[in-house]
């Protein structure tokens, strides 16, 4: 893509024609709500547009459309190979429209424009293609019996899937839910975050262009407390898939159990550790990775590695390198292509992160790097690094969802494992060591959905291919990545055919 100036991105931003209306049965239509929601650009705190907050009546219409589309088989009865073709074409259209999608995400949640485009092109589209490739590989199994009886397991789509997504990776989050659910033959109602509905709506239009039949993917923008809650409580949703905070996940689990006993896939919060043993031989590589992991997306990542757990002997040397690097990440204008670190996603996020920094200071943690918080005209918050933290501090235990790193130190492997496992979360963990035996022990004993063992800083290219994982503890349950994702969005049936 040709480089563009900030001025030309600003001109493109001014030319956006905002259309945040539900997409139901293949068409945009007005929401039935009376109230407006201010869609705010966190880089300036100016209002981009106002849109209707949505109602349970919008959800009702969307679920009806998805149910009709499921029952008449326009998608579920399509041969899986053909479904794969549609999804692959959709992924190609996402790549073609990456600048448009990236700009919407950048304006709504403050992602640096180059990063937002990268997310659409290099994360969302390849992941969608991976799920498309799995569409015709969801194989059942048959059991040996006598010659008159055939008994087998077969996967069938569950029906209508409800999906609720957060704002931190708007385009990727759409694909994470829609990719495996549609590849498995379901129809859907998607509620994107109220902060970032536009790329989801635009991507759903591109899906229609790619050949997805109308009514298969319905998108209803609106608030969590009304539209999201209506979706979670709806009796005609066969599975609810959610990514967001643990607190909301708990509410959804309650609503789902009370109203219809629908199954859930929950990917919730995290407080992931970066564990570093003294046998590593390249502290610069560790420091680079530490800063990249905690400041990725301004720290607004559920798997952000927000706890650096480092062996005593190398702690001071590593910390110095980490602080130097983090201090260089000055937040910048998201529409400047050289910006890699933008504002937080909105005023609520800023307030939340600021509150945690204050609580850390009150509790006696020592800020070896103290971030600045811009109070108006943009939600810019730079990195804070806390040393001398204790295990019980809220900054160590709770998900901050911002650029804040806590540093803990250890003497022995047992102590490192105890600290790593010492929160209620279990999403991701990275351990640096050159000792193979220890690497295996860590991979086994760390309670997380994904454990990365590293010996050096060299990263492979992003392949857009991920194996499956399942969140542990308060991070959620169920699996939607990889082939396992299609299994989660399917129901397993046992069929026995007997007689002569
Ligand atoms: P975050 O703090 O990251 O915004 P949330 O869990 O609040 O995380 O939001 C993630 C998604 O869940 C958003 O789409 C939001 O609108 C939705 N949501 C929030 N509260 C509820 C709720 N009570 N019921 C259903 N959805 C909700």
Kindly report the pTM of this predicted structure: 0.97
- Decide if 1 is inside a domain: no
Chain centre to alpha carbon of residue 239 = 18
Q: What is the mean pLDDT of residues 366-391?
A: 98
- What is the tally of structural domains in the chain? 2
Residue 126's domain spans which residues?
6-268+477-495
For residues 284 and 418, membership in a common domain is answered with yes
- Decide if 471 is inside a domain: no
Please list every protein residue whose CB sits less than 6 Å from any atom of ligand 1: 164-166, 191, 193-194, 224-225, 228-229, 232, 244-245, 248, 251-252
Virtual CA dihedral for 7, 10, 16, 22, nearest 10 degrees?
150
**Which pLDDT does position 459 carry in this prediction?**
57
Å from CA of 31 to ligand 1 middle: 19
**Which pLDDT does position 458 carry in this prediction?**
64
User: Which of 228, 232, 250, 300 should be mutated for ligand 1, with most atoms under 8 A from CB?
Assistant: 228
For residues 228 and 125, membership in a common domain is answered with yes
Residue 1 has pLDDT above 90, yes or no: no
Residue 464 has pLDDT above 90, yes or no: no
Are 193 and 242 within 8 A, CB to CB? no
For residues 245 and 261, membership in a common domain is answered with yes
> Alpha helix (H) ranges present in 39-168?
56-71, 80-96, 98-109, 113-118, 125-134
Mean pLDDT of the chain: 96
- Decide if 470 is inside a domain: no
180-224 residue pLDDT tens: 999 999 999 999 999 999 999 999 999 999 999 999 999 999 999
The pairing of strands 36-41 and 46-52 is antiparallel
**pLDDT-based confidence at residue 260 (cuts at 50, 70, 90):** confident
The total number of residues written for the chain in this structure? 500
**pLDDT-based confidence at residue 500 (cuts at 50, 70, 90):** confident
Residue 461 has pLDDT above 60, yes or no: no
302-331 residue pLDDT tens: 999 999 999 999 999 999 999 999 999 999
The pairing of strands 384-387 and 366-369 is antiparallel
- Decide if 405 is inside a domain: yes
Active site residues: 267, 302
Tell me, what CATH number does 354's domain have? Answer: 3.40.309.10
Percent of the chain past pLDDT 90, that is, above it, reads 93
For residues 34 and 155, membership in a common domain is answered with yes
Residue 336 has pLDDT above 70, yes or no: yes
User: Which of 37, 39, 54, 224 should be mutated for ligand 1, with most atoms under 8 A from CB?
Assistant: 224
Q: Is 245 left (phi over 0), alpha (psi -120 to 50) or beta?
A: beta
For residues 431 and 379, membership in a common domain is answered with yes
- Decide if 472 is inside a domain: no
The closest alpha carbon to 222, from 61, 350, 349, belongs to 61
For residues 264 and 279, membership in a common domain is answered with no
Å from CA of 201 to ligand 1 middle: 18
Beta strand residue intervals within 365-436, DSSP E: 366-369, 384-387, 404-410, 425-426, 428-432
Tell me, what CATH number does 134's domain have? Answer: 3.40.605.10
Nearest residue (CA) to ligand 1, atom 13: 193
- Decide if 367 is inside a domain: yes
106-150 residue pLDDT tens: 999 999 999 999 999 999 999 999 999 999 999 999 998 899 999
For residues 344 and 366, membership in a common domain is answered with yes
Residue 376: CB atoms within 10 A of its CB come to: 8
Q: d(Cα 30, Cα 23) in Å, to the nearest integer?
A: 9
**Which pLDDT does position 259 carry in this prediction?**
78
Q: What is the mean pLDDT of residues 228-238?
A: 96
For residues 186 and 39, membership in a common domain is answered with yes
429-457 residue pLDDT tens: 999 999 999 999 999 999 999 999 998 77
Contacts of 198 (CB under 8 A, 6+ apart): 18, 20, 104, 105, 108, 170
For residues 128 and 46, membership in a common domain is answered with yes
For residues 327 and 373, membership in a common domain is answered with yes
Q: d(Cα 73, Cα 298) in Å, to the nearest integer?
A: 43
**Which pLDDT does position 465 carry in this prediction?**
57
- Decide if 196 is inside a domain: yes
- Decide if 115 is inside a domain: yes
For residues 234 and 342, membership in a common domain is answered with no
For residues 182 and 303, membership in a common domain is answered with no
**pLDDT-based confidence at residue 475 (cuts at 50, 70, 90):** very high
């Amino acid at each position: 893509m040709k480089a563009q100036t900030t001025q030309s991105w600003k001109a493109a931003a001014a030319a956006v024609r905002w259309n945040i209306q539900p997409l139901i049965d293949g068409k945009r239509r007005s929401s039935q709500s009376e109230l407006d929601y201010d869609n705010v650009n966190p880089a300036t705190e100016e209002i981009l547009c106002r849109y209707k907050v949505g109602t349970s009546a919008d959800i009702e219409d969307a679920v009806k459309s998805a149910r009709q589309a499921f029952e008449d088989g326009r998608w579920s009865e399509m041969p899986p190979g053909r479904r794969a073709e549609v999804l692959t074409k959709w992924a190609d259209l996402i790549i073609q429209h990456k600048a448009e999608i990236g700009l919407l995400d950048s304006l709504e949640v403050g992602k640096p424009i180059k990063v937002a485009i990268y997310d659409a092109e290099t994360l969302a589209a390849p992941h969608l293609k991976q799920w498309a490739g799995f569409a015709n590989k969801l194989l059942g199994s048959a059991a040996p019996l006598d010659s008159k009886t055939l008994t087998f397991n077969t996967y069938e789509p569950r029906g209508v899937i409800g999906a609720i997504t957060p704002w931190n990776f708007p385009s990727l989050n759409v694909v994470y839910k829609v990719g495996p659910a549609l590849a498995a033959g379901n129809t859907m109602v998607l509620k994107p975050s109220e902060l970032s509905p536009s790329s989801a709506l635009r991507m759903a239009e591109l899906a229609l262009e790619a050949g997805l039949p109308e009514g298969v993917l319905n998108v209803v923008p609106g608030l969590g407390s009304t539209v999201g809650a209506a979706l979670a409580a709806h009796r005609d949703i066969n599975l609810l898939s959610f990514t967001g905070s643990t607190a909301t996940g708990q509410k959804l689990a309650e609503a789902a159990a009370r109203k219809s006993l629908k199954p859930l896939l929950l990917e919730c919060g995290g407080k992931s550790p970066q564990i570093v043993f003294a046998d590593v031989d390249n502290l610069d590589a560790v420091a680079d990775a530490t800063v990249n992991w905690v400041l990725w997306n301004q720290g607004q990542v559920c798997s952000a590695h927000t706890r650096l757990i480092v062996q005593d002997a190398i702690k001071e040397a590593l910390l110095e390198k980490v602080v130097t690097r983090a201090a260089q990440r000055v937040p910048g204008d998201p529409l400047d292509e050289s910006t890699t670190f933008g504002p937080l996603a909105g005023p609520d996020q800023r307030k939340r992160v600021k509150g945690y920094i204050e609580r850390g200071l009150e509790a006696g943690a020592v800020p070896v790097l103290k971030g600045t918080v811009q109070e108006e005209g943009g939600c810019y918050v730079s990195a804070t690094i806390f040393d001398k933290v204790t295990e019980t501090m809220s900054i160590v235990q709770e998900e901050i969802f911002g650029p804040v790193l806590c540093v803990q130190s250890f003497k022995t492997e047992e102590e490192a494992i105890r600290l790593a496992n010492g929160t209620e979360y279990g999403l991701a963990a990275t351990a640096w060591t050159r000792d193979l035996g220890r690497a295996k022990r860590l991979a086994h004993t760390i309670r997380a959905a994904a454990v990365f063992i590293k010996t050096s800083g060299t990263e492979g290219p992003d392949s857009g291919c991920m194996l499956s994982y399942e969140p542990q503890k308060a991070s959620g349950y169920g699996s939607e990545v990889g082939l396992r994702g299609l299994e989660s969005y399917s129901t397993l049936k046992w069929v026995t055919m007997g007689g002569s």
